[in-house]
Amino acid sequence: MGETEYARQRENLMPAVVVVGAQWGDEGKGKVVDLYARHADAVVRYAGGANAGHTLVVGGEQVILHLVPSGILNEETECVVAQGTVLDPDVLLEEIATLEARGISVASRLHFSERAHVVLPHHKLIDSLRENKAGAIGTTKRGIGPCYEDKVARRGIRLGDLLQPKELRSRLARNIEAWRPVADALGGTLPAPDEVATAYAALGQRLRPFVCDTARLLSTLLSQNKNVMLEGAQGTLLDIDHGTYPFVTSSTAVAGGACSGAGIGPTDIDGVVGIAKAYATRVGHGPFPTELENALGERLRQAGSEFGATTGRPRRCGWFDAPALRLAVRVNGMTRLALTKLDVLTGIDPIQICTHYDADGQPLSEPSFDSMRSVTPVYESMPGWSQSLRDCATIDDLPEPARAYVHRLEELVGCPISLVSVGPGREHSLGEVNPFTELGQL
């Protein structure tokens, strides 16, 4: 194919868009992806596992998804769990059953990558035992870390392996044996390979109808000019490379992870939407410069229902951290931001924004290596508002101080805010709801 012809073909492609967490997770990715999904032909989870908890509220009913992409409530949308994720078969089957019980058909539009690694019982065991020891990360205990450890140690079990029962037993024996010194040191008992092989071969058979080469499926969809949305899990500050290491998850949560995680090229991606709360939260241990360990933090927790969707743990709450967001805008190549939970700030006056950090007298505009451990946040005050935001239909309906707050955040982080969320429901969304278009002004 001639160069010009190739370029023309690429121009015709409809965009693929990444939706990525810009903070420490739980920014409202599920809500925003569900809202955007009406414009998407496919929604793809590309990283993480059942450590994620994505909440959708449609028609007043709440659905929490851990592995199934948040596009599933749109009956026309294909949902793909790609090879960058780690899959717990029990969770997948439970989610499928829950969705079907709600009358949502998943049979022909849910696809799981044969290359995705499988979370095994001993992954969860080791994860939990480690959490009882000094140096705990505050993980979700879903076996995510040990599963990714097996993946990079090149001894992991992939979904496709569950469909090859003959080889599965010996693969599992080798895998389980590798964990023996760790289990012994932690005082845990590993499962018998035969039992795991029998149970997981059976789970594999139940999942078989959903298993395929999802990277090829996505290439086909993109070549047919379909809109593909890549749904991030966790958040930038939990990313294995860019987050507050070692208090991070074990996968590439940032937008770049969508390429290897879903099996598409960087040139396929045309937009990156970051999701950020109008304040900040974090679950688990690790640095959090703007944390409010006081009555105001508790107020945010109650007003925002800040309790983990996966573990139920109370989330740590604090002020909006602009330096953290600048890092997220930069490393994700963010083209626009969706700001969620603005309604939670109603009645708080004044509202503080961390504009930069003070590091031993030096101003820092972004977190640097290890700096989040030791910096002092520097704040700017903005006036609050007392009116409920729930009935606002457009950005113009927001009270003036709320609009000023949104615009100030935009200015401080250097990325346009195209969507403002003022409640958990699909309907509580102001601004641009089609991310597959050129950016409109708020």
Enumerate the active-site residues.
26, 54
The Cβ of residue 437 has, within 10 Å, a number of other Cβ atoms equal to 13
Can residue 96 be called a binding residue for ligand GDP (CB under 6 A)?
Answer: no
Tell me the backbone φ, ψ of residue 271, rounded to 5 degrees.
Answer: -150, 150
Angle made by CA atoms 422, 426, 428, in degrees to the nearest 5: 25
- Residue with Cβ nearer ligand GDP (303 or 359): 303
Can residue 28 be called a binding residue for Mg ion (CB under 5 A)?
Answer: no
Q: Which stretch binds ligand GDP (CB under 6 A): 18-26, 145-153, 215-223, 243-251?
A: 18-26
What x/- string results for residues 296 through 335 when contact with ligand IMO is judged by CB under 6 A?
Answer: -------------x--------------------------
Token pair for 28: 């409202």
Which residues make Cβ contacts (< 8 Å) with residue 258, sequence separation at least 6? Answer: 18, 20, 44, 46, 47, 84, 230, 232, 264, 269
- Residue with Cβ nearer ligand GDP (253 or 353): 253
Chosen residue from 70, 83, 140, 335 binding ligand IMO by CB under 6 A: 140
Cβ–Cβ < 8 Å for 217, 11: no
Cβ–Cβ < 8 Å for 147, 123: yes
Whole-angstrom CA distances from 9 to 12, 228, 272 are 5, 17, 22
Smallest distance from the beta carbon of 70 to ligand IMO, in angstroms?
10
Q: Which of residues 240-269 bind ligand IMO (CB under 6 A)?
A: 249-250
Residue 324: half-sphere exposure toward Cβ, Cα within 13 Å: 38
Which residues make Cβ contacts (< 8 Å) with residue 292, sequence separation at least 6? Answer: 300, 317, 318, 319
3-state secondary structure at position 88: coil
Can residue 142 be called a binding residue for ligand IMO (CB under 6 A)?
Answer: yes
What x/- string results for residues 110 through 149 when contact with ligand GDP is judged by CB under 6 A?
Answer: ----------------------------------------
- Residue 10: closest CA among 1, 23, 22: 1
- Residue with Cβ nearer ligand GDP (51 or 227): 51
Distance CA 24, CA 72 (A): 24
- Residue 19: closest CA among 9, 10, 28, 11: 28
Q: Which residue sits closest to ligand IMO, CB atoms considered?
A: 284
Size of the site for ligand GDP (CB under 6 A): 25
Query: Among the residues of 187-251, which ranges form H helices?
Result: 193-207, 214-223
Q: Which does 340 bind (CB under 5 to 8 A by kind): ligand GDP, Mg ion, ligand IMO, none?
A: ligand GDP
Chosen residue from 223, 305, 365, 386 binding ligand GDP by CB under 6 A: 305
At 365, the amino acid letter reads S
Q: Which stretch binds ligand IMO (CB under 6 A): 50-58, 161-169, 178-186, 210-218?
A: 50-58
The Cβ of residue 417 has, within 10 Å, a number of other Cβ atoms equal to 20
Report which secondary-structure segment, H or E, holds 423. none
Can residue 290 be called a binding residue for ligand IMO (CB under 6 A)?
Answer: no
Smallest distance from the beta carbon of 382 to ligand IMO, in angstroms?
26
Report which secondary-structure segment, H or E, holds 71. none
Chosen residue from 71, 284, 424, 431 binding ligand IMO by CB under 6 A: 284
Chosen residue from 70, 175, 234, 429 binding ligand IMO by CB under 6 A: 234
DSSP state of 230: E
- Residue with Cβ nearer ligand IMO (141 or 426): 141
List residues binding ligand IMO (CB under 6 A): 21, 25-26, 51-54, 137-140, 142, 144-145, 233-235, 238, 249-250, 283-284, 309
List residues binding ligand GDP (CB under 6 A): 21, 25-31, 52-55, 57, 304-305, 309, 340-341, 343-344, 421-424, 428
List residues binding Mg ion (CB under 5 A): 26, 53, 309
